[in-house]
Structure 1
């Protein structure tokens, strides 16, 4: 993940400038040597940036100045230049001393009322604590007894510097509130959320050139829709289903007060993920998002009912009675309306099927969906390919391709792809699979960004319990020798086939392990990494209402999809008149469309009768609207 921003010591988020690292290292070198080896300095900078990007990818946090300097210090020491590292440490210490002196000067200015703030217009004026208190009181309405201004101010004043912008002042107020959240007083999260909302309001007013009093006015919402449709951010055919008069009427239903009901984490999610504000230019606000989503999800309704249903969706979602999943909330109202949450695929043991599935995974990830992928058909490491023994690299290299796909297609930067991968506990690559996310071993066999799962039959657990042996097989060899696939069976039929495979001397690629040792490895991995998930295939398939039509091989990340799947199979590739047509026999792919009911807000019979039909109807519309 490319580093674009860093966090300063006072909490401000600023642009990342690698030249500052370069200059600081060069300054330390000049105190030791006459000349600066710029190639060496650049190498240190590159190493630091690489490590920062790796950390940002794994922890999704803005790196701090302190972290960057710690990394520089460590890299200098690791490279053996201890004298330069020492000078750099002394440089940091001197800078810290100067900052402390400056901080004392700032506090004196604050106490003597001569410190200035910079307004959004660029004009400077004297800092007034009374203005700050007024803003806080507005945000703290309803929580004044639990959350005191002076508590917040004691933290905030440590971040106030001469010339600080009013925008940064508001951000620092929000951060001070977050610092005060405790188990005994969680109300600070409400105040932080309201301050965050005020920041969004200020930015939207500036970017849309509107007054604060015009936020959520019907005319301004129509103007936003016109602008966003023109720019391609909103669904291009909105006005085929609604007149502008209807849009204005809908906007009159907006409840601005709801913005102050959202806690900090909710507003953060809005800002970072769900609001349609390309390039971080705040235009759309939370209630406009919910209304546009409602208008979009009502499109399949009959014209005479459409607006009424749109307002029902808006009301239920903006009041947090219904919670929409990421793809639905993210993509409703856009031209790329993939609204489903999860998909489940079954991959066959050939290149066409594998890459066809990976392309599908990329497209799903692109538009916010998650996916579960069953890889149990793929031959194991060392298996034959076209009669050449030992040619197969096994299932792990393909998992790494899927892992990199999840990283590369990251939903416009809103989040990494969410993909689970499943194989069987009897697969010969099971130990490699269990080590996918452990720290030890060859980095080329790791896949840290997928979610591994193991398909476990009852027979394995029985052998663990009885401390018996367990046999690992190559699925491809079983299919070649017997003409059947072991993974296609479950329960008693699986047990019978499995026992037959253990006795079949024609099967050469099999290994015998102690079942309990394999289970211990699984448990150890789960403790270390939190993975893998476990899918008890016999239990699921015994209650599968569609067992006559196939098999449930795996589930997906949320483990709520337990339905039959089968691979898509390549038929032919036809080149005709300068075009290429690739034909597949479509397999069974499962799609999950969901919404959540907030039982904290929906708990009376009247509320249930009102909300559940809306949720079910909007999910029906999700299916119709999906592209």
Structure 2
């Protein structure tokens, strides 16, 4: 699972009801760390969770020390995975070698639900109003983040603004992505009413060769179509332990279709991994998977109707994922035709 702790007040934050002060995020993460260690899947797979924290949170340095192998064990959480949820403004400050302000989320609760220009304006205004707990060199903080990543393999970098700008779900105000999951392969909006869930499948590319040892794109298309329909059925047949997860899944109907075995494809074709031919084949395979997945999803919409939140997506206006990255697909004519179908049918 993935959990964002950005809303949790920082250490030293005033608790008005008791006139006391908060101990910050670490004690709560210690509790979660113990829970993750206690849970396993039938004795075969231990529990796993990833905690996300935005870079402006005043406890960011304590957060980055959670997986250290030295120091006070009472402030360590060795069973948790860590991820930084990084706004573009922080990277701008790193590049310019400027100071970075750290805030208590109790003082700036609006930060968590903002991204892009809106976040930058709110951040700069809060700085000007003197709301920051303290400042730190952006480069020193970035160096600490890189050290944590190098020494522990944790504290991976996820970029808040790009994640939100490129998401199909964030067209409407209020639809905000606050985190990813344990493996960072999905990005979905979350709120008090919705817990993001994704239905995942994977295609074994090594099983898609014809009798002439050529990659079989027709077979790949068949596999993708079957997988998308199967994953769509999972949404309706699944067991949901909490209502917010069921509500989010039925509202957005998200599916994630990945692949494995790309190295097997290169081995069979005797292609060096870094060759131009390997890159071209990889791109062609990825484009085929995306095209046939969208095509099948559009067919499902024609058969069963648009999913409930389709009009809140970027796809409803004809914007597809590669548009967010300024990538031009190989066969633009077929993509233009599919784009028009999606706008019409969902």
Q: The TM-score by the shorter chain falls in which range? A: 0.5 to 0.7
Residue among 158, 176, 183 paired with 1:535: 158
**In 2, are the aligned partners of 1:438 and 1:529 still within 8 Å (CA)?**
yes
Matching residue of 2:82: 452
Deviation string, structure 1 residues 27-51 (Cα, Å, up to 9, x no partner): xxxxxxxxxxxxxxxxxxxxxxxxx
State the structure with more CA Rg: 1
1:119-156 C-alpha deviation (Å, 9 max, x unpaired): xxxxxxxxxxxxxxxxxxxxxxxxxxxxxxxxxxxxxx
Question: Which structure 2 residues correspond to residues 292-371 of structure 1 after superposition, within 5 A?
Answer: 371=1
Question: In structure 1, what is the equivalent of residue 179 of structure 2?
Answer: 554
Measure, in 2, the Cα distance between the counterparts of 1:605 and 1:468: 50
Q: Distance in 1 between matches of 2:19 and 2:118?
A: 30
The 1:472–1:610 alpha-carbon spacing in structure 2 relative to 1, beyond 3 Å, is same
Report whether the alignment pairs 1:412 with 2:42: yes
Cα deviation for residue 388 of structure 1 reads: 4.3
CA contact (8 A) 1:382 1:389 kept: no
Q: Which one of 140, 146, 149 corresponds to residue 526 of structure 1?
A: 149
TM-score, scaled to structure 1: 0.36
Conservation of the 8 A alpha-carbon contact between 1:490 and 1:541:
yes
**Alpha-carbon offset, residue 459 of structure 1:** 0.7
Q: How does the TM-score come out when normalised to structure 2?
A: 0.64
Counterparts of 1:389 and 1:544 in 2: how far apart (Å)?
Answer: 41
2:246 matches 1:622? no
For residues 584-609 of structure 1, give each alpha carbon's deviation from its aligned partner in whole angstroms, at most 9, with x where no partner exists: xxx12111111111101124134224
Q: Aligned partners of 1:388, 1:511: CA distance in 2, in Å?
A: 24
> Aligned partners of 1:606 and 1:515: how far apart in 2?
50
Q: Return the match for 1:497 from 77, 97, 122.
A: 122
CA distance in 2, matches of 1:448, 1:425: 21
Alignment length, in residue pairs? 231
Distance in 2 between the 1:473 and 1:609 partners?
A: 49
Gaps of 5+ in 2: 209-214, 240-346
Structure 1 alignment gaps of length 5 or more: 1-370, 480-484, 568-586
1:600 matched to 2:212: no
2:195 to 574, 577, 589: 589
Cα-Cα RMSD: 1.6
Q: Which residue of 1 aligns with 2:314?
A: none
Higher RCO (C-alpha 8 Å, min separation 6): 2
- In structure 2, C-alpha distance between the alignment counterparts of 1:390 and 1:468, rounded to whole Å: 34
Distance change (3 Å), C-alpha of 1:434 and 1:621: same
User: Structure 1 segments of 4 or more deviating over 3 A?
Assistant: 387-390
Q: Identify if the C-alpha distance between structure 1 residues 606 and 503 changes in structure 2 by more than 3 Å, giving closer, same or farther.
A: closer
> Aligned partners of 2:183, 2:124: CA distance in 1, in Å?
32
Matched position secondary structure for 2:154:
coil
